[in-house]
Amino acid sequence: MYRALPFVAVYFSSLVNASFICADDREAIASLLKSQLIDAQLPQAQVEAFCEARIPGVPNVGSLQEWEQLTKKWRAEMLDKVIFRGAAADWRKSPQNVEWLEEIEGGPEYRIKKLRYEILPGLWVPALLYEPLKLSGKVPVVMNVNGHDRDGKAAKYKQIRCINQAKRGMIALNVEWLGMGQLNSGGFVHYRMNQLDLCGTGGIAPFYLAMERGLDVLLSHEHADHQRVGVAGLSGGGWQTIFISSLDTRVTLTNPVAGYSSFVTRIHNHSDLGDSEQTPCDMATVADYSHLTAMMAPRATLLTFNVADNCCFASGHALQPLVDAAEPAFRLYDKVDRLASHVNHVPGTHNFEQDNRETLYRMFGKHFYAGDASFDAQEIASDDEVKTKEELTVPLPSANADFNTLALGLIDELPRERLPAKATAEWIDSARQRLAQVVNAHEDEVDAEELPAQSNGEINAKLWKLNVGDEWTVPVIELTKANAAPTATSIVIAESGRASAAETVQRLLDAGHRVLAVDPFYIGESQIPSRDFLFALLVGAVGERPVGIQASQLAAIARWTKQQHPGADIQIVAEGERMSLAALIAAGLETKAIDRVELLGSLATLKQVVEQNYTVNEKPEFFCFGLLEAFDIRELAALVAPREVRFIDANERMKAELAPLKSWYADLGLEHDPLR
């Protein structure tokens, strides 16, 4: 039989009246909540260790046959389990559409053809084809990709590279990168690709399709030599270069320039931590970038890094681990001479200037023009042929899709399995198992370390460092009023950290509760001090989920609290959209230790993440892969039943979205309105 909990009558609206607030208590609470319990660098050290422990190493392989079996497996899993998930699998099957547009004069030896190609339904990428005027037979083709440069395909150093390729008889494709150049728009901000992840569709897929279909364009040229296919790019273009080259074996020569390093290298060199596309969800469950480098064997590979790089991937730390990973694979093929590296000293900063370009030309001479004594790797002066952005602009459809519009097109059909009309234990059990899988929940034990207690006026505080599992330390402040005998316990979490929750803590103490103010992973005192959201992305890349870590920690702390206070009812009180989501998931997963949930400022629906165009750097917890595909707020709240969940200050959208919950509780024989 369901029994009413002692805190059912505690409502926010009746407790915030100023006449009930004791200023002295508020100041005491606020002061205690600011106590420092853990070293400021501990969250950094723990998230680094957590991620590094999950990054696979390149295995030692004794035979070429075994190596080729492994690389075949890695390629298949990267494509199927990382890139082409959800709607992306259908995008890849869509027909290839290429539209050839204006042709403009290049230089005395080549022309420039403008084109656009559709990488998935409704999303077009502009490109330029540098084509020698005199073509006969089959010639090398090169796809040139660019990085985080607002000039995009019009960047001078990129134009000169393409011009020099054309003057040497190659067909050069200069493709625009999503978010740069002509595609520089708010909807293409790279941190919005994770909106697709939330919907269960690979956010990395549009990036890959832009490259894959660029190669399709090049190789469809009647003069394309399929045995001489190159890719080259700087920075984000260097990332694109290794990503497509390692996974698409049509590429026979690759030159990534200052574009990537191993995930392990990045953990210890924070300048290398990559954006969303460089850290795609679940990538490291299959392969690290050291694997991708080794997977180039036996194809021609030139790794270029800069000695004093002022951006990222400096040669001193980035290059050697990649060479060490790749050399054994090239040795299996007896083709170590095809693995080359270059360290740039002039200018030595983040660049693809003349020294780096001429090193690429020498690579072309060695592998594309072997035996041709007339091939000259010295750069051909072409500055007077560089064109303006306007001259190189390619017309695009006015309604060109972007990350946000793609996600908006997906959310109407989500979640795939809606809340059933009638509550059943079978649905709840099945849904709970699915939720645990989606967030990758862990059922950890707590090893508690009690610190010296504090008090301030009528407020007493026990200070705890709770070691959750073997990997996390969560700071907790347990507050009670002097001479109180609490029968209920509230675990309080706040989006801005526990120090911001003094008002909520006070109203709960005034209601007779014991309060545990908790800063879970990524929040408050547990905030990662350096590149926090980039580490949140890396957590996703190694197969974990930030919100899953938070929810697992809360569930573990609730179980520990239940052991400490066996007769007490335990509720989680969450402030803010992000912590409300973590609390809902924790309560959905932990059925015995969490008796009730109260949410202040929750989203009405996860679709608001897409509708309000959130980015992963702002609210990383929301972008749990496939969460909206499987559950919305309504379904998550239903998993708490028959325990109570209460949404405070519900707005009209919330009332509409969550209205079915009242009948859900009624089906279970309960009279509870979550929105009252």
Average confidence score pLDDT of the chain:
95
Residue 18 pLDDT exceeds 50 = no
pLDDT at 22: 61
Cβ-based burial of 36 (10 A; exposed 0-12, middle 13-18, buried ≥19): exposed
Report the pLDDT value the prediction gives residue 676, as an integer from 0 to 100: 65
| CA-to-CA separations, 609 to 94, 157, 411, 416, 655, in angstroms, rounded | 27, 38, 10, 17, 18
Q: pLDDT tens digits for 470-526?
A: 999 999 999 999 988 898 999 999 999 999 999 999 999 999 999 999 999 999 999
E strand map for 495-620 = 513-518, 569-575, 596-600
Q: Which residue ranges does the chain devote to CATH 3.40.50.1820? A: 64-407, 430-667
Whether 495 and 501 have beta carbons less than 8 Å apart is answered as no
Position 106 scores a pLDDT of 95
Instruction: Dig out the tokens for 536 from the structure.
Output: 């949140």
Quickly state the pLDDT bin for 4 (edges 50, 70, 90).
very low
| pLDDT score recorded for residue 401 | 98
Bridge partners (DSSP) listed for residue 122 = none
Kindly indicate the confidence band of residue 667, based on its pLDDT and cuts at 50, 70 and 90.
confident
Task: Find tokens 């997977």 and name the residue.
Answer: 295
Residue 323: CB atoms within 10 A of its CB come to 16
Tell me: the pLDDT tens digits for 534-572? 999 999 999 999 999 999 999 999 999 999 999 899 999
Q: Which CATH number applies to 64-407?
A: 3.40.50.1820
Q: Nearest-5° angle of CA 376, CA 382, CA 385?
A: 145
Whether 21 shows a pLDDT value over 70: the answer reads no
> By the 8 A CB rule, do 341 and 319 touch?
yes
pLDDT band at 354 (very low <50, low <70, confident <90, very high): very high
The domain 430-667 is classified under which CATH number: 3.40.50.2300, 1.10.760.10, 3.40.50.1820, 1.10.645.10?
3.40.50.1820
Instruction: Report percent pLDDT > 70 for the chain.
Output: 96
State the pTM of this model: 0.95
Query: For residue 1, what pLDDT is reported?
Result: 30
600-632 confidence digits (pLDDT tens):
999 999 999 999 999 999 999 999 999 999 999
Tens digits of residue pLDDT in 211-268: 999 999 999 999 999 999 999 999 999 999 999 999 999 999 999 999 999 999 999 9
Distance, CA of 182 to CA of 454 (rounded, Å)? 59
